[in-house]
């Protein structure tokens, strides 16, 4: 499902934060990996004069060497990898880069809240933001069910649950009547659903639960801001998931084409239409 990963690095330590999640997602060596190191524009201007000296260089050159080393490591492990640096540290730059290389997933560390929030809002490519710092997660993938559109992320949530070897837990706010449909879609994806929770405050419930990941559509502003600020669980936001067909899982009607012979006019008398022996 995620065949081309864009790993957006905002800090040198991000590679340690993202490594466990990258290893799980990119289990197949056919997965393509592109590394993107963001370089501060202000620091680049401040060190531009230093680049004129043969003994010093700016952050952009250091970042390029850093990316080259990471790419070489990934290639030595059998991955199809490349990388680049880009001056600037904003969500529009990351979203544009993901679209230009046709990435299927953006993987980033949740280090700057404003960057994550803006990227969730504008990126058409799914974004997986991993909080900095680790804790032992529960083996469950949390899927908030708010409306019918929330059901569209279940295939992606199921893919993550298989990678993480975790079950799905649906948390419903206003879409409680959609829970049977959500479980039906999970069964179709051949993943187990151990729990189904109903919550008045969706953000508070998600923060109280422990899990391996939260998978949801682009959340409301206040929900996104709180999850980004307080959650210690990786958050996968899919702003434009592919829509499910209206007849998904519905029985398909069977159409049989039967050719009927043309109607025959009944004879007027018993001997009509019969020849003499």
pLDDT in tens, 138-153: 889 999 988 888 899 9
For the ranges 24-38, 48-62, 104-118, 162-176, the maximum mean pLDDT occurs at 104-118
Domain match, 109 and 147 both: no
Q: Structure pTM?
A: 0.78
Whether 100 maps to a domain, the answer reads yes
Question: What pLDDT is attached to residue 106?
Answer: 95
Question: What pLDDT is attached to residue 175?
Answer: 66
Domain that holds residue 222: 136-247
Number of domains the chain contains: 2
d(CA 274, CA 267) in angstroms, rounded, equals 10
Flag the least confident range among 18-32, 82-96, 116-130, 245-259: 245-259
Closest by Cα among 179, 165, 175, 157 to 235: 157
pLDDT band at 41 (very low <50, low <70, confident <90, very high): low
Whether 258 maps to a domain, the answer reads no
Q: Is 249:185 a contact under the CB 8 Å cutoff?
A: yes
Residue pLDDT, tens place only, 163-187: 888 999 999 877 688 889 999 999 9
Domain match, 87 and 47 both: yes
Residue pLDDT, tens place only, 217-260: 877 778 888 898 898 899 999 987 766 555 555 444 445 555 55
Whether 262 maps to a domain, the answer reads no
SS3 33: strand
Question: What pLDDT is attached to residue 127?
Answer: 94
Query: Distance from CA of residue 96 to its chain's centroid?
Result: 17
Whether 121 maps to a domain, the answer reads yes
Residue 172: strand pairing partners:
145, 198
Whether 257 maps to a domain, the answer reads no
d(CA 178, CA 145) in angstroms, rounded, equals 8
Domain match, 88 and 186 both: no
How many other CB atoms are found less than 10 A from the CB of residue 266? 7
């Amino acid at each position: 499902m995620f065949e081309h990963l864009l790993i957006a690095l905002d800090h040198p330590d991000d590679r340690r934060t993202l490594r466990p999640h990258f290893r799980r997602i990119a289990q197949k060596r056919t997965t393509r990996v592109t590394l993107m190191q963001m370089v501060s524009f202000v620091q680049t201007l401040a060190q531009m004069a230093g680049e004129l000296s043969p003994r010093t260089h700016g952050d952009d050159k250091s970042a390029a060497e850093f990316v080259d080393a990471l790419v070489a490591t990934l290639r030595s492990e059998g991955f199809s990898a490349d990388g680049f640096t880009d001056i600037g540290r904003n969500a529009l730059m990351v979203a544009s880069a993901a679209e230009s290389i046709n990435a299927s997933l953006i993987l980033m560390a949740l280090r700057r809240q404003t960057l994550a929030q803006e990227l969730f809002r504008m990126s058409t490519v799914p974004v997986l933001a991993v909080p900095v710092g680790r804790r032992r997660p529960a083996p469950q993938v949390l899927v908030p069910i708010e409306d019918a559109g929330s059901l569209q992320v279940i295939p992606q949530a199921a893919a993550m649950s298989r990678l993480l070897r975790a079950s799905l837990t649906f948390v419903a706010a206003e879409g409680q009547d959609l829970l049977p449909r959500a479980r039906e879609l999970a069964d179709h994806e051949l993943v187990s659903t151990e729990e189904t929770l109903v919550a008045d405050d969706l953000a508070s419930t998600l923060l109280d639960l422990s899990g391996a990941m939260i998978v949801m559509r682009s959340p409301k502003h206040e929900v996104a801001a709180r999850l980004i600020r307080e959650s210690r669980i990786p958050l996968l936001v899919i702003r434009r998931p592919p829509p499910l067909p209206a007849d998904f899982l519905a029985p398909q009607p069977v159409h049989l084409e039967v050719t009927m012979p043309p109607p025959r006019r009944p004879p007027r008398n018993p001997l009509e239409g019969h020849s003499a022996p």
